[in-house]
Amino acid sequence: MSSVSTAAHYSTPLLALISTIMDFPSPSAAACQDYDALVEQINPLCPLHQFGIVGCSEHGLQWIYNYQISDSFKQQLGHEPSRITEQLTQLDETNGWCVLPIEHRQMQWLLARCQPTELPTLRLLLECLAKRLAETQANCELNEPASPLIRTHPDWQKKIESITRIIRLANVLPSQALFSQLEAVLRQILAIHDMLLVHATNLKVDVIYPVEPHQSDAFISELCHSTSNVEAHRESLHWHSMPLRLQQQYFAHFIISTPQPLEADDKLFLDFLRGQLTLLLELRRIRQQLNEINSEDSINQRLQQLRQTNLRLQKQLRQHQELERKLQFDALHDPLTRLPNRALLMNHLNHAMTHFRRHKSAGFTVIFIDVDHFRRINESAGHGGGDQLLREISRRLKTCIRQNDMVARLGGDEFVIYLDSSQHEQDISPVLNRIVHRLAYPFRINGNELTITVSQGVASVGAQTTDVSQLLHQADLAMFQAKRNGRGRIVSYSDDCISQHWHSPEETLARALREGRIVPYFQPVIRLEDSRLAGLEVMARWITEEGAIREAFDFIPLAEQCDLIQELDRQILRQSCQQLKTWLTHEGQSKLKVAINLSGKHLTSRQEILQLMAIIEAEGIAPNYLIFEFNERELSRQDADALTSLHELRAKGIQVSLDAFGTGFSSLNALFHFPVDYIKVDDSFTQRMLQSPKDLALIRAMGDICRDLGYTLVVEGIENQQQLQKLIDIGCQLGQGRYISPPMQGTDIVPLLAAEAVPS
């Protein structure tokens, strides 16, 4: 049959082209002219850039037909079927490519390319062609008349022509008029009583035709099966229901009723009609989608969605950049004063030292500043007052330096100033004088005036300086000499400042560990509802050779940098177990819990875990008295071995606490990822909660989450009565802070244990 024989019968180009495709000859009978004619008919409706049919034979790959496909493209596809499949599946639809497989041994791939906007139409045409080619190769002689009834019963010719005329009216008549015409023809041909066209789901029935059926939704729903025909005898009528499907997609049911059962030829005729209806409704749906996609309103809506998406992505990018800047700033600055911290200072000093050695330029000077009697000030003004004083000192020190200088806080009451291009007295003295003059002016803390003095040690870089750690230590020694000289003095480093060989900070810390001067202090954790002791948290303290007590944040970062942190943790664990064994002799302490902060490095191997357990066993302490605390930020940087180690610790009876919760990148994920028993909210949230509704809401939400998930919530950093009362009001369980009790030596804890042992 000619490939254009039926095109004239259709008024719509798309239907005419589909009819031509469905009458296309089989590959064995098709000539090159037939393919050329097909391309010529497709081009006006959907202009083709490229078109081809790829097949395989005993001699390998062959191009059965190709249109405007270059030799370079063919070479790119290769000759091996697996490579061809890989290359074809990688062709991008956004570039207008449409590639379809043909389910037959000789013809395997159908590929074409057009403008991306024409892709839905091209896909429909290629699917029809692929189906046609596959069926003709399978010896389905579909190029003959569509219904076999015509061959056996010529009188069916008029019936089929009647239906065909109705289908050809599809693009002229409105839907209801078209289906009404179809019903009239069926009443004449099959003597039907009713015709229904519905869309049925498990939830409801949508009637496509007629507008108001006589049957109820329940009655219609019983006649609909999503995959199979249904025949039923209801209300003295014989009902026939057929699902309409295309490419495994169900979209409607065609239902008729007749007074008498249908014969075999009638059912065969219905099968033909179902195929025609399926194609008709699917083409209407596709045409409607194309119109909606290409309408001005749809285009404007998509443009608006793209603009909104673009704005949202820009906002997310700004938030990400802002978060990244904040994280970088927090990592290199002191959280209390916002001054550069030790890490940023050391980085700056190392760059300055490199520049000094390479260019033999003017040197630099560091000034080590320590507030005299700061511990007394902290005790009298309170922890909050001490923090306020440190912030004000920081602000004044920044007004004393020049543009290229830097003031940093090392921790506690210790500050360091870097003076750029300053080696001589005439460069250093003006800065020192400004520091003395501006810090001498009284501070106003908690409504009271407070006057302070500072001791300052000065050290300048020279040819004999080995590294910046040595220079800092020299300034530190000069500062201690200033304190020995009566405090409130300025001393420049000289040999008089040294009473023994110089030791680096790392060596000083290592010696303190060897001499047992890193000791545990204990801060009580109370049950907020009744202020009863619930446990203790261990906090490491460094007792210097001069008798001063340095807090953990002054030396823990140094211990981590010089790989002493694990040995330090083991010593603190051993001393804590010894102290715990003493406390357990007091009656009523069977429920006492001691929480010990540990580095995440202990989780990197099973050997590290075994060393910790060996200490506990050697001291004769049951593991269930201990809680191991790991910082959330540090824990998130560990690998899968850390997770295994946490499970092993809990299996041995040790509970796990997630410390500083809320400061990491994915805090909520940590609750589900890590096996923990306690959640400790970072003290920064406690400090801000009375002024920040967001921080208060987060603490309240964490309390609810912990109760639902079976965790125990501990709130750190309680500094005043207002914070304590607010935490009680929102239902928090446990808390700690300097308002409740500062960290104390083990002997000072005994009276608290005795009080807890007395029945209330």
- When the pLDDT of each residue in the chain is averaged and rounded to a whole number, the result is 83
Q: Does the pLDDT of residue 378 top 80, yes or no?
A: no
Q: Half-sphere exposure of residue 110, counting CA atoms within 13 Å on the CB side?
A: 21
| Contact indicator for 259, 275 with CB cutoff of 8 Å | no
Is the sign of the CA dihedral 354, 358, 359, 361 positive or negative?
Answer: positive
In 3D space, the residue among 63, 58, 41, 43 whose CA is nearest the CA of residue 109 turns out to be 63
Q: Does the pLDDT of residue 102 top 50, yes or no?
A: yes
Q: How sure is the predictor about 143, in pLDDT bands with cuts at 50, 70 and 90? A: very low
Cα 694 from Cα 671, distance rounded (Å): 20
Q: How sure is the predictor about 254, in pLDDT bands with cuts at 50, 70 and 90? A: very high
Determine the pLDDT at residue 12: 52
Determine the pLDDT at residue 4: 36
**DSSP letters for 643-707:** HHHHHHHHHTT-EEEEEEETSSS-HHHHHHHS--SEEEE-HHHHHHTTT-HHHHHHHHHHHHHHH
pTM greater than 0.75: no
pLDDT for 21-34, tens place per residue?
877 888 778 888 98
In 3D space, the residue among 689, 685, 684, 681 whose CA is nearest the CA of residue 713 turns out to be 681
Strand partners, 340: 333
Determine the pLDDT at residue 120: 82
Determine the pLDDT at residue 299: 78
CB atoms within 10 A of CB 182: 23
| Contact indicator for 738, 724 with CB cutoff of 8 Å | no
What's the mean pLDDT in 3-7? 37
222: three-class secondary structure by DSSP: helix
Determine the pLDDT at residue 358: 84
Weakest mean pLDDT among 412-421, 515-524, 527-536, 542-551: 542-551
Q: Does the pLDDT of residue 756 top 60, yes or no?
A: yes
Q: How sure is the predictor about 672, in pLDDT bands with cuts at 50, 70 and 90? A: confident
pLDDT for 572-610, tens place per residue?
999 999 999 988 887 556 678 999 999 988 988 889 999
CA distances from residue 464 to 460, 467, 750 in whole angstroms, order as listed: 11, 9, 52
Residue the block writes with tokens 């715990």? 580
Q: How sure is the predictor about 123, in pLDDT bands with cuts at 50, 70 and 90? A: confident
Q: Which domains does the chain have, with CATH numbers?
A: 7-137 (3.30.450), 149-294 (3.30.450.40), 362-502 (3.30.70.270), 513-748 (3.20.20.450)
**DSSP letters for 112-132:** EE--GGGHHHHHHHHHHHHHH
Q: Does the pLDDT of residue 368 top 90, yes or no?
A: yes
Q: How many residues does the chain have?
A: 760
| Contact indicator for 231, 266 with CB cutoff of 8 Å | no
Determine the pLDDT at residue 154: 60
Structure tokens at 351: 């760059």
Cα 365 from Cα 427, distance rounded (Å): 10
Cα 221 from Cα 201, distance rounded (Å): 8
Q: Does the pLDDT of residue 684 top 90, yes or no?
A: no
In 3D space, the residue among 223, 554, 512 whose CA is nearest the CA of residue 409 turns out to be 554
pLDDT for 654-667, tens place per residue?
999 988 777 654 45
Cα 145 from Cα 102, distance rounded (Å): 24
In 3D space, the residue among 612, 607, 604, 611 whose CA is nearest the CA of residue 628 turns out to be 612
| Contact indicator for 628, 680 with CB cutoff of 8 Å | no
**DSSP letters for 36-80:** HHHHHHHHHHS--SEEEEEEEETTEEEEEEEES--HHHHHHH-SS
What's the mean pLDDT in 43-54? 90
Q: Does the pLDDT of residue 628 top 90, yes or no?
A: yes
Strand partners, 543: 549
CB atoms within 10 A of CB 500: 6
Determine the pLDDT at residue 140: 43
Give the range with max mean pLDDT: 100-109, 195-204, 517-526.
Answer: 517-526
Q: Does the pLDDT of residue 7 top 50, yes or no?
A: no
Report the run of H or E that residue 629 belongs to, with start and end.
strand 626-631
Structure tokens at 217: 């939704």
| Contact indicator for 456, 479 with CB cutoff of 8 Å | yes
Phi first, then psi, for residue 55 (nearest 5°) are -135, 170
Determine the pLDDT at residue 417: 95
Cα 399 from Cα 431, distance rounded (Å): 10
Determine the pLDDT at residue 504: 63
